[in-house]
């Protein structure tokens, strides 16, 4: 459970202009070790400077990392075999999403409720498990930065084993597809080190 101090710290970071998401890793004593900000800002260096000043008040030894959301989207590229999205559907009648993924000729299907954003991310995790992957992460947040188009969806996954949180970002014209792609973006490097069920 997050302490009141850590809640205040995160709230101050989230209130900085252009901050889309905040992730943290912790030391063994529970203090924040590294804070990662995903920003959509014209001046990420200024955001980093402000975040470093805030961190010095709460956790003086914490490192601050700023990732530019626009750069993250531009730098996505394929490296070797990857889990691929085959199909993503949202049924407005029952509120369920169905996601179909493929890897190395195998298909995994996942279903989840909760609408196109949260449901899309949860269905993606279920489809990965259906492919045979042990995914030691749980869904923490799915954020659509604004209600307009041309803004990315950011997915944050919390580690179940005290490793660093994972962030993914994607932008399409469809919230469900963006949520699925952002979830895969957060996990593809992790998944590439594992072997799924054959």
Residues 6+ apart with CB under 8 A from 175: 116, 117, 120, 144, 153
- Rounded-to-10 torsion of CA 184, 186, 192, 193: -140
State the pTM of this model: 0.61
The DSSP annotation for the chain comes to ---HHHHHHHHHHHTSTTEEEEEEEE-TTS-EEEEEEEE--S-HHHHHHHHHHHHHHH-TT-EEEEEEHHHHHHT----SS--EEEEEEEETTTTEEEEEEEETTEEEEEEE-SHHHHHHHHHHHHHHHHTT----EEEEEEEES-SSSS--EEEEEEESSS---EEEEE--S-HHHHHHHHHHHHHHHHHTTS----
Q: Is 3 exposed, middle or buried (0-12, 13-18, 19+ CB in 10 A)?
A: exposed
Give me the CATH number covering residue 122.
Answer: 3.30.160.270
* Of 71-75, 159-163, 169-173, highest mean pLDDT: 169-173
Domain final residue, candidates 37, 70, 103? 70
Domain final residue, candidates 70, 100, 121? 70
Which residue segment(s) compose the domain that 110 sits in? Answer: 84-191
Domain final residue, candidates 19, 46, 70? 70
Q: Is the pLDDT of residue 193 over 50?
A: yes
The residue-averaged pLDDT of 82-99 equals 88
**Token reading at 74:** 């531009």
Query: How many structural domains comprise the chain?
Result: 2
Residues 53-86 have pLDDT tens digits of: 999 999 999 888 888 776 654 444 445 556 788 8
Residues 6+ apart with CB under 8 A from 57: none
């Amino acid at each position: 459970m997050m302490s009141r101090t850590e809640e205040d710290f995160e709230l101050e970071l989230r209130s900085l202009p252009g901050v889309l998401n905040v992730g943290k890793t912790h030391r063994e004593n529970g203090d924040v070790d590294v804070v990662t900000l995903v920003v959509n800002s014209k001046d990420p260096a200024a955001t980093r400077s402000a975040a470093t000043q805030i961190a010095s008040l709460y956790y003086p030894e914490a490192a601050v990392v700023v990732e530019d959301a626009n750069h993250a989207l531009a730098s996505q590229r394929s490296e070797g075999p990857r889990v691929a999205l085959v199909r993503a559907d949202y049924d407005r009648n029952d509120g369920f999403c169905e996601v179909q993924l493929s890897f190395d000729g195998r298909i995994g299907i996942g279903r989840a409720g909760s609408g196109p954003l949260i449901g899309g991310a949860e269905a993606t995790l279920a489809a990965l498990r259906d492919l045979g992957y042990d995914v030691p992460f749980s869904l923490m947040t799915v954020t659509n930065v604004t209600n307009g188009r041309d803004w990315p969806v950011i997915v944050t996954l919390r580690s179940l084993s005290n490793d660093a949180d994972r962030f993914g970002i994607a932008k399409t014209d469809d919230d469900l597809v963006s949520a699925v792609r952002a979830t895969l973006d957060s996990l593809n490097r992790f998944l590439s080190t594992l072997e799924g069920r054959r």
